[in-house]
Amino acid sequence: MKKIAVLISGGGSNLQSIIDRIEDGCIKNAKIEVVISNKKDAYGLERAKKHGIEAVFSKDEKEIKKIILDRKCDLIVLAGFLKILSGDFLKEFKNKIINIHPSLIPSFCGMGYYGIKVHEAVVNYGVKITGATVHFVEEEADAGPIILQEAVEVSSSDTADIVQKKVLELEHRILPKVVDLFCQDLIDINGRIVSIKEKK
Ligand code: GRF
C-alpha cells in the first residue's frame, strides 16, 4: 500500500477527488497518510478530518519535510499548494512529487500563473483550447516532466470563471488517475519523457 501526503493551500476540491476515488476503489493500493496546509483556515483541512485523515497546518518547510519523512510517504501530491518548495526539498523527494496545474503546460504556466489568473490569461489571449496538466515537480515552476493532460474547448463567450469550472472538472478526473497509476507503479520517467505502462 502506497502512502500519500497531500499538500494544499485552499478549498481542496482536488484533494476531495482523490479521497473519493480511493473510497470508491478507483484508486488502488493507496492511502492518504496526511494532509498538510500552509494556510490555517484552508477548507481542505476540514475535508481531511471528515474522512478521518490526519490534517496538519504548517508553514515551515523543514517541519513539512519531517512530517512526510516520519510517515514514510511514497508520493507527495501538490493539490493547489501555493508555496514554492526549495531545491533541497525537491531533491529529497525526487520523482515523488506531482502537481496539478490548470492549463495545458507549457502555455499559461510558471511564475504568476495561479488560480483565476491562469484562466483570465486564457480568455484574454483568445485560445480555443485549454486544459489541465499533471506533472512531476522540479525546481523551475511548472516545468517538470508531464504525466497526463486533458483539453477542453474555450468558447468566445466564456468568462474566466466559466473556464475555471470547465478545467476543474478535468482536474478532478486526471489527478486521481495519475495517483492510481503512480500507486500501481505504472509510470516510467526517461529524462523529460513519461510513459504509462500497460496494466497487467
Ligand atoms: C486548482 O485549480 C489547481 O489546479 C491549482 O489550484 C486550484 C486548487 O483548487 N493549482 P482546490 O483547492 O483543489 O479546490
pLDDT score at 166: 98
Ranges of residues in the chain whose predicted pLDDT is under 50? none
Q: What is the spatial order of strands in the sheet that 97-101 belongs to?
A: 54-57, 30-37, 2-8, 75-78, 97-101, 129-136, 146-153
Cβ partners under 8 Å of residue 41, min gap 6: none
CA of 200 to the centre of ligand 1 (A): 32
CA of 172 to the centre of ligand 1 (A): 10
- Eight-state DSSP code of residue 192: T
- Eight-state DSSP code of residue 194: E
pLDDT score at 140: 87
The residue assigned the cell 483565476 is 116
pLDDT score at 16: 98
User: Which of 171, 174, 178 maximizes ligand 1 atoms within 8 Å of its Cβ, making it the mutation to test the pocket?
Assistant: 171
pLDDT score at 40: 97
CA of 95 to the centre of ligand 1 (A): 21
* Nearest ligand 1 atom, CA 16: 13
Q: Which residues line ligand 1 (CB under 6 A)?
A: 8, 10-14, 44, 79-80, 100-102, 168, 171
Whether 172 is a known active-site residue: answer no
pLDDT score at 182: 98
